[in-house]
């Protein structure tokens, strides 16, 4: 049994484009002598299609594409068969949903079997019960002397031996094994997170070992809105050893001989990230590239402050779109340090991106002159010694207006530069630095921002262009500051970032409330301040651009907190 894993990058709703990707994979699999080509979950339509599944025309286009593919596949018995995911329109009944998340097994010019996803996730970013009717059978297909057990993504994430607590009462893989499966196949659209990158292959290997059966897993690759799919498709032997593995963060096609337990294993030189930081950088670049491309933006711009956050976003943008397609804009004010513009210019030169300077001082001064009388009548905040937040935020909003004007005039996608620590605590300005089309590092905590920046500089130091670091050392060394008032630093308002990020990780990803955080050893005053800031900033985050998810709990569709609420935990 020679299997090909077709790790493709489909686009939601691009049926013609997706069909071409699938046909190219079929041709390559046939040339490589594969008996079976396995393609990702919902590869025909792209994943996740969301409410497009409620459109009759969308489903009709998916079914028409599948019929076209069936006519293309394996008309001769020796040709390659194909297993591909698609949204299946179900017969009209008086109960249940009208669509299934399905896989079509195509052989000799026809669909010989349709297998449906049994476990439909509703946690985090997933909402599949909203659309799909679950499968209830053990989908085992007889194929050329082999009984192949077909499962779809979540179906394989419920092994009772691997998970200390199972989310579902049934295990579809156990059902396949009891039905006589000799090979387990799982087609997936499994999004990347830094934790899952390590967890997923461990889980798949454990499943193969538990049942003593070879296992083939194929994953989608590419960015779709806030999600990044990392690929990393693999085939495991019955003992859980990797016998084939596709690249991370790139389309690929790999072959495996299940009986001989041999196959293609991509090396680091072929796209494998050696560290978690390298993987995160590749995920962010891929997510930025595909989001911009699919939204019709070949070019991007961002504000370059001379700080670490905008430097990281600029590096990611240059990697994703090419340096000549990126514009950095420095927007100094009366409070900007001399090094801010110097560091921003040095970064732009090092990256080879375009660079402009637009002072905000004339606009800011005009605002203050016009608003001064009204500010005087309204008075200052009642808290003695409180900063003048209205004037500070005016500067951020002037910068946001400048960047949006340049975006409109040049047709560039505006990338925001706020990190997860700032966005979590509301240390950001609505309609100011939050204005834009994609929040590239909104799921990157500040401590990780520094690690990613040093990884970028380390890559330059180890590469052929050794010399000046990409990101100036002065940017890495200076105290983080929004530079909205004299001598301002982030730590005037926030705890040290190592402490803040530890509290946020426990609160946001582990779900620990205030009492649990204090019991875990975090200072009560810091806990109270951070949790309060997170709660009060929910309304801001609802209005920010989509952000790329790389951790277990990102701000976006996977976090569903009420804005108006009285819970203080």
Look up the CATH number of the domain holding residue 345: 3.40.50.620
Average pLDDT over residues 293-316: 97
Domain termination site, one of 267, 302, 337: 267
Residues 126 and 216 reside in one and the same domain: yes
Buried b / exposed e along 1-32 (16+ C-beta atoms within 10 A)? bbbbbbbbbbbbbebeebbebbeebbebbbee
Residues 413 and 481 reside in one and the same domain: yes
Question: Are the C-beta atoms of residues 509 and 193 closer than 8 Å to each other?
Answer: no
Provide the pLDDT for residue 120.
97
Q: Is the pLDDT of residue 269 over 60?
A: no
Helix, strand, coil percentages, rounded to 5, for the chain? 40, 20, 40
Provide the pLDDT for residue 126.
95
- Residues taking part in catalysis: 41, 117, 153
Higher pLDDT, 72 or 295: 295
Positive or negative torsion for Cα 305, 310, 311, 315: negative
Residue 112's SS3 state is strand
Distance CA(284)–CA(441), nearest Å, equals 8
Place of tokens 């209005």: 543
Residues 225 and 92 reside in one and the same domain: yes
Q: Which residues pair with 257 in a beta bridge?
A: 2, 262
Asked whether residue 272 is domain-assigned, the answer is no
Residue 430's closest CA among 396, 475, 459, 477? 396
Phi, psi angles (nearest 5°) of residue 520: -80, -5
Provide the pLDDT for residue 462.
62
Residues 328 and 457 reside in one and the same domain: yes
Positive or negative torsion for Cα 72, 77, 80, 85: positive
Q: Which residues pair with 106 in a beta bridge?
A: 82, 111
Query: How many CB atoms sit inside 10 A of residue 352's CB?
Result: 12
Average pLDDT over residues 408-413: 97
Asked whether residue 527 is domain-assigned, the answer is no
CATH number of the structural domain spanning residue 82? 3.60.110.10
Positive or negative torsion for Cα 133, 134, 137, 140: positive
Q: For residue 244, give its domain range.
A: 2-267
Average pLDDT over residues 118-145: 95
Asked whether residue 124 is domain-assigned, the answer is yes
Residues 186 and 286 reside in one and the same domain: no
Asked whether residue 45 is domain-assigned, the answer is yes
How much is the mean pLDDT over the chain?
93
Provide the pLDDT for residue 526.
96
Average pLDDT over residues 190-214: 96
Provide the pLDDT for residue 77.
61
Q: Is the pLDDT of residue 384 over 60?
A: no
Provide the pLDDT for residue 160.
86
Asked whether residue 341 is domain-assigned, the answer is yes
Provide the pLDDT for residue 201.
96
- 67 — pLDDT class (breaks 50, 70, 90): very high
Query: How many CB atoms sit inside 10 A of residue 423's CB?
Result: 25
Provide the pLDDT for residue 551.
96
Both tokens assigned to 555: 């701000």
Residues 260 and 403 reside in one and the same domain: no
Residues 437 and 402 reside in one and the same domain: yes
Positive or negative torsion for Cα 232, 233, 235, 239: positive
Asked whether residue 335 is domain-assigned, the answer is yes
Average pLDDT over residues 319-326: 98
- CA 61-65-66 angle, 5° bins: 120
Q: Is the pLDDT of residue 378 over 90?
A: no
Domain termination site, one of 267, 286, 302: 267
Residues 304 and 236 reside in one and the same domain: no
Provide the pLDDT for residue 481.
72
Provide the pLDDT for residue 468.
83
Number of structural domains in the chain: 2
Question: Are the C-beta atoms of residues 44 and 220 closer than 8 Å to each other?
Answer: no
Distance CA(235)–CA(60), nearest Å, equals 33
DSSP codes of every residue in 402-452: HHHHHHHHHTPEEEE---HHHHHHT-S-TTTTT-SSEETTTTS-HHHHHHH
Residues 15 and 103 reside in one and the same domain: yes
DSSP codes of every residue in 449-462: HHHHHHHHHHHHHH
Provide the pLDDT for residue 386.
60
Residues 212 and 343 reside in one and the same domain: no
Query: pTM for the complete prediction?
Result: 0.94
Phi, psi angles (nearest 5°) of residue 76: -95, 145
Residues 231 and 357 reside in one and the same domain: no
Asked whether residue 421 is domain-assigned, the answer is yes
Provide the pLDDT for residue 376.
83
Residues 313 and 395 reside in one and the same domain: yes
- 202 — pLDDT class (breaks 50, 70, 90): very high
Percent of the chain whose pLDDT exceeds 90 = 83
Asked whether residue 42 is domain-assigned, the answer is yes
Higher pLDDT, 236 or 495: 236
DSSP 162: T
Domain termination site, one of 212, 245, 267: 267
Provide the pLDDT for residue 569.
79
């Amino acid at each position: 049994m020679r299997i090909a894993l077709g790790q493709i990058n489909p686009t939601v709703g691009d049926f013609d484009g997706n069909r071409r990707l699938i046909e190219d994979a079929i041709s390559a699999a046939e040339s490589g002598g594969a008996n079976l080509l396995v393609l990702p979950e919902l590869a025909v339509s792209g994943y996740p299609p969301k409410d497009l599944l409620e459109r009759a025309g969308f489903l009709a286009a998916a079914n028409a594409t599948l019929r076209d593919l069936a006519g293309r596949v394996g008309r001769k018995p020796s040709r390659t068969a194909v297993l591909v995911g698609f949204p299946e329109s179900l017969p009209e009944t008086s109960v249940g949903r009208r669509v299934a998340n399905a896989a079509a097994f195509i052989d000799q010019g026809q669909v010989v079997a349709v297998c449906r996803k049994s476990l439909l996730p509703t946690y985090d970013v997933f909402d599949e019960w909203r659309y799909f009717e679950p499968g209830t059978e053990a989908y085992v297909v007889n194929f050329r002397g082999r009984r192949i057990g077909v499962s779809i993504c979540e179906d394989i994430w419920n092994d009772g031996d691997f998970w200390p607590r199972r989310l579902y009462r049934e295990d579809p893989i156990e059902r396949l094994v009891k039905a006589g499966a000799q090979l387990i196949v799982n087609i997936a659209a499994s999004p990347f997170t830094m934790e899952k990158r390590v967890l997923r292959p461990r889980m798949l290997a454990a499943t193969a070992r538990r049942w003593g059966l070879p296992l083939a897993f194929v994953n989608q690759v590419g960015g779709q809105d806030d999600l990044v799919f990392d690929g990393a498709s693999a085939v495991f032997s019955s003992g859980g050893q990797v016998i084939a593995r596709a690249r991370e963060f790139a389309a690929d096609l790999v072959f495996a001989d299940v009986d001989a337990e041999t196959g293609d294993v991509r090396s680091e030189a072929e796209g494998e990230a050696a560290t978690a930081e390298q993987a995160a950088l590749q995920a962010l670049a891929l997510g930025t590239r595909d989001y911009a491309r699919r939204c019709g933006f070949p070019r991007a711009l961002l504000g370059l402050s001379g700080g670490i956050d905008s430097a990281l976003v600029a590096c990611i943008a240059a990697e994703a779109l090419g340096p000549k397609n990126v514009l950095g804009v420095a927007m100094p004010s009366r409070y900007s340090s001399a090094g801010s513009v110097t560091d921003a210019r040095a970064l732009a030169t090092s990256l080879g991106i375009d660079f402009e300077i637009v002072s905000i001082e004339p606009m800011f001064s005009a605002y203050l002159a016009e608003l001064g009388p009204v500010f005087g009548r309204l008075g200052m905040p009642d808290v003695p010694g409180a900063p003048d937040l209205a004037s500070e935020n005016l500067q951020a909003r002037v910068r946001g207006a400048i960047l949006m004007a340049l975006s409109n005039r040049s047709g560039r996608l505006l990338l925001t530069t706020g990190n997860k620590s700032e966005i979590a605590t509301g240390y950001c300005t609505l309609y100011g630095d939050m204005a834009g089309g994609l929040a590239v590092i909104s799921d990157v905590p500040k401590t990780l921002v520094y690690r990613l920046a040093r990884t970028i500089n380390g890559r330059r130091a180890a590469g052929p262009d050794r010399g000046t670091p990409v990101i100036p050392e002065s940017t890495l060394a200076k105290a983080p500051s929004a530079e909205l008032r004299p001598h301002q630093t982030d730590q005037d308002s926030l705890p040290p970032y190592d402490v803040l990020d530890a509290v946020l990780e426990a609160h946001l990803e582990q779900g620990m409330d205030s009492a649990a955080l204090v019991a875990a050893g975090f200072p009560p005053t810091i806990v109270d301040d951070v949790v309060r800031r997170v709660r009060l900033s929910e309304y801001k985050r609802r209005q920010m651009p989509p952000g790329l998810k790389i951790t277990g709990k990102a701000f976006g569709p996977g976090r569903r907190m009420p804005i108006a609420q009285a819970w203080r935990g």
